[in-house]
Each structure stands twice: as structure tokens, then as C-alpha cells.
Amino acid sequence: MSPAASTGFGFTGPKISLAPWFALLLVFTVSVTTADGSKYIQEAPGGILEGIGASADDGVSGEAPNLRAFYIDPDGDDSADGLTPQTAWRTLDNLANKYFSAGEGVLFKRGGYWNGTSTLPFQGARQGTADNPIVFSAYGTGPRPVIDFTVTQTPVWTPEGNGVYSTPLASVTRLRRMYVDGSEVLDATSYDEMLSHEKYMYWHDQDTNLLYIQFNPAGREIKYSTTHAFIYFGSGSRHIVVSDLDIRGAKYSLSFPKTENVLVKNNNLGEGGHIGISITGNNHVITNNIFDSKRPKFDYSDSSSTAHGPHEAIAMKGENRNALVSRNTIRNWAHSSMASGGASNTGLKFYANHVDGSHLTYGTKFELFSGTADVEVWNNYFYKTTRQQIGGKRIHIHHNIFDSMANTPVKSYNTGQAIGIYDFGEENSDSVIENNVFINSDGAAIVFSTRGSYMGSHIIRNNIMYNNGKDAVTYPGDPKGIAVQIKTGSLQDSRFYNNLIYSDITDKVMMTGNERNGPTYTVAEFDSANLPGNNIGFDNLQADPLFENADSLQLQLDLSSPAIGAGVQPQAARDWDGYEIIPPYDIGIYNTASRPVNPIFTDGFE
């Protein structure tokens, strides 16, 4: 979390410029000045996850300066002018033909609830300005206003025999969320799978656009959404603000392709939907949102596919430059918490997000695909997801906690590694993975695997890998307790040093080669081995790190820990709590010598 002169976010690249509107909405910490005149951001002290993920909504939306707002209130009147809280509209219907210009927007009354199919029209290229963005937000006090596109459906159902009924759908890419009599039900990934078990209650045939159900719809309340997106701005749009809303049910809560300077803050996004936000372009900020799919933990362990239910919380698939994704809480997405990839994804920063996949059979992983470069991932907490998949070049992953990554019965192979380094068919090189804690994962802390492109010149240092490989069985006889696996023909020209690795079930914690076939090593053997691919290990330790209490995630080091002073100078400038890292350097997310030196530095907004 370096207060580097070159950026506001501690990584090389151009600084994101924040207009007054953006700065107003991003105030969630207090600026302080230290004795030496350095200005940092101070946050309140707390537990290890204090400040990680979204903060609670305070129930208040402030004034919107210089905004020509259209107000919407469930007790309003659609025949009024909508220009004041006293003359607010009642529904979204008056927005059906509204196209927005700089300094205009919509404010929904807090505590309000809207359920239906009316959305904003596709906006095309609409342009706010730095001082007068286009705004979608809330006013008043109370819970965030709810705009819900999951509606009761009463189509004509055609009996197909064998207890199956069908109905045509209008313009739905893939229907993956349905509620019957108030409860969400499990989707199938094929017609045959639907018939294989009564738990798979529906299937959407995208070729014919027919929806099949295997229950009698008579007398049942059936809800689903056919809405594409609530807010959709097209290529060339810029300076858009979305804050303080609770958007449910649409395929995309928000969609911003090829846009610039979009701020998405303090929302609930994705409940009952397919994707929370899809966004490409430049200089975006996504902060302090809750992306909770609210998906129950269905058992689809006998399925042939993982493609069930909600897909991705944050989709950045395409060209993205200089975006910040920070302090979001992301829960239970059947594919990814965040997926980034494309021809040019550079200067992205992922900071202090809380990612939780514990209620799904598979998913919520973090993904950086080919085409991604110069990305920083730091101070995030990942819990019970499947493995994070990392491609690209010059990725800096530091001071994260990877806790209890999980295998899935849907896959026949191990998915419970904390991080998988892959080439995705393109070069994967020059990344730094340092000062992370990998703890209690089913698979290895890190696995390297290639499809044939060059993967190498990586640095892996100062990490604590504690009790990983707990359930690493892909085939009978696979070794457990593995912390690092370098698959055959994958990694080259990389260095592993000053890591601390511990397992309470084996001393053979390193592996080269593929499952069952590769040799395993103690840390000392790994450091002295002639490793394939011109990789080298040195100065790694094999010992208990002596956390204060690993079972309760108190990952501070006991003063007798072998990790204290056993690290080397990292590329990162600040530790998990934001203290400046000074020598002697520790292994892990904290730096004992630094406490206390300077106040806590967080996002860099002042």
C-alpha cells in the first residue's frame, strides 16, 4: 500500500484523477498528517479483517450538488414533474424514453421498493463531465432503495409429457435464476440432466429459447427475470456515478462497455441476477459494494458442469486501463468473483476486497486472463473459493490472505489450490508473489501449469504457506501436504526464496511434475535440488510460523516466530495494517519492526 509518488494506489502507472463528485462519494476514512509532514489515511483499529470488504450502509444519502435530479418515490405521482422530492414520480415508467446529459440523474427514495420490468433505455454514448457527472443514486434516509426485476411470470405453458412443461422466452441469453413459491430452485445444464433428478427443476434451451420445467406450474408462483440490464451505457459514455442502490434480478445489474470514469459505490448488486457489473474502458472505480448473489448451497455434485446459477460478480472482459476495485464484499458466484482479461488490461488495482465462496459447490474464484499486465492485488481476503487463476505479465500479488480454498465434487481433479499460475496460451512472466499467507487449503498454496507458452521469470518470496494440501486427492495415492507444485514443463527461470512453509501432516511439502508422478521434497531438499526449468530455491524455511492463533485467524506472529526478521526487502512498501515496511523484514503479512511507525495508509484518496 505504498504512497508512491507515481500513483495514488501504490503501483506504477498514471494516477486516477478524481473529480469533486467522486471525491465526495469516496470519503470513508480520515486524513491525518504525521510528524514528518507525510500525509496518509488513518482508519479505525480493529480485528484482522477490519476495513476488508464493504462497510455497513449508514442509511443516509447526502445532497447531490449541481444535479438536475428526477426523484422517484413509491408514494409519488407519475403525472407530476419529478423534479423535487415533493413532486416525485411513483414508478420507473417515465424513464422509458429518458436519455441523460451532464449534470442529470435519478434519485430513488431510500426505503422504497420497485418490482417490475421497466428499465432505463439503452443510453448510447452519454457524457457527463468531471464536475457534472450523470448520477443514479438515492435520497433521504433508510435502507437502500430496491429495484427488483425478478417478477412473477404467468406465461402459457405447453405440456411436453413426463411431467415436463415448456414456454418460449423473449430475448434471454441464459436463464439461470428461478424462484418457485418464494424459494430459489436449481437449474440444469441440459435437458437430460433436468430429467435425471427432480432437484434439477428447470432448463433453458438457448438454441430454441424454450424454458422447460419438470413440475406442474398450476397454482405455483414462478418468478424469474427477463431484463437484460437496469443501467446500460454504451461505448463513449463517461463520468457516470451509481451509488446507494440495491439492484436485483437483471442479467446485468449494471453494464458499461467501453466507457470512462465510472464510479460504482455503496450498492448491493447481483441478488437474483447473472452478473453484478460488466465494465470495460478507462479510469473506473468500483468500491464499497456488496456483490451477494444470495444463492443457496445446492447440491449439484452429480452434474457434468459447474455452470449453475449466478456467473460473475465483476466482469472486466475486454480492454480496461487504470481501474480500482476496492473494499467490496463478494459472496457466492458460480464462476468468478472477478474476471479480467482481454487485449489490454493494464494498471488494474484490487485492494481490500472480501471474497467468500463458502455457500457454493464451486466458484467465486479471482481470475486474471491473458492480456492482463501491470496489475496489483493486495490486502484481499479470499475464503473457501476454488483456486484463483492468474495469467498475464508483471502481476504483483502481496499481503493477501488465502484461507481454506476448496475442492469441488463437480470436478474430477483438484480445484482447491489457493493460486494457479497459468499461461492461457500466452506468455505469463515477471510477476511477484510476496508476503501472502496461504492457510488450510485443500490443494497446494501455488500450482504452476502451462499450455505450452513461456511461463517464467517469477519471484515467490516472503510468503507463509501453512497446512495446505489438506485434501489434495485427485487420484488414489496423490501426496497430501504439498505447498508448491511445479507441473512438468511449466515454470522456468523463477526464484523461490525466503518463504516459510509448514505442514502438520508431512515434511515433503514441495513437488515437481504431475500428480502421482513427480518427486516431492522437503524445503531443504528443494533448495539444494537441481530443479527443472532453470528454477532455483534458496533461503526458504520449514517450520511452524507460530501465529498467535491460526484457528481464529489471528495471523500476527509470536515474538519467538522464525518468520520475524527472516524475510528480504519486498517490492511492497506497506504491510497488511498499512505500516511502512522497514528492516528487519518479516515473512508474512505483518512486519514486526514497523509497529508503530506511521499511521495506516489505505486507498490513497485524500
Which pTM value belongs to this model? Answer: 0.91
DSSP 358-369: TTSSS--EEEE-
Nearest to 266 by CA among 513, 91, 59, 563: 59
Q: Say how far apart CA 291 and CA 314 lie, in whole Å.
A: 8
Instruction: Give the pLDDT of residue 40.
Output: 28
Residue-wise over 242-278: b if at least 16 C-beta within 10 A, else e?
bbbbbbbbbbbbbbbbbbbbbbbbbbbbbbbbbbbbb
Identity at 89, one-letter amino acid code: W
Instruction: Give the pLDDT of residue 423.
Output: 87
DSSP 223-280: EE----EEEE--TT-EEEEEES-EEESSSEEEEEEEEEEEEEES-EEEETSSEEEEEE
Instruction: Give the pLDDT of residue 516.
Output: 67
Instruction: Give the pLDDT of residue 299.
Output: 86
Instruction: Give the pLDDT of residue 450.
Output: 85
Q: Where are the domains of the chain?
A: 151-224
Q: Which residues of the chain have pLDDT under 70?
A: 1-46, 343, 472-477, 515-516, 597-606
Nearest to 452 by CA among 485, 421, 423: 423
Q: Say how far apart CA 407 and CA 416 lie, in whole Å.
A: 4
Instruction: Give the pLDDT of residue 128.
Output: 95
Instruction: Give the pLDDT of residue 597.
Output: 53
Instruction: Give the pLDDT of residue 485.
Output: 93
Within 8 A by CB and 6+ apart from 97, the residues are 121
The answer to whether residues 294 and 255 touch, using CB atoms and an 8 Å cutoff, is no
Q: What is the 3-state secondary structure (H, E, C) of 490-544?
A: CEECCEEECCEEECCCCCCCEEECCCCCCCEECHHHHHHCCCHHHCEEECCEECC
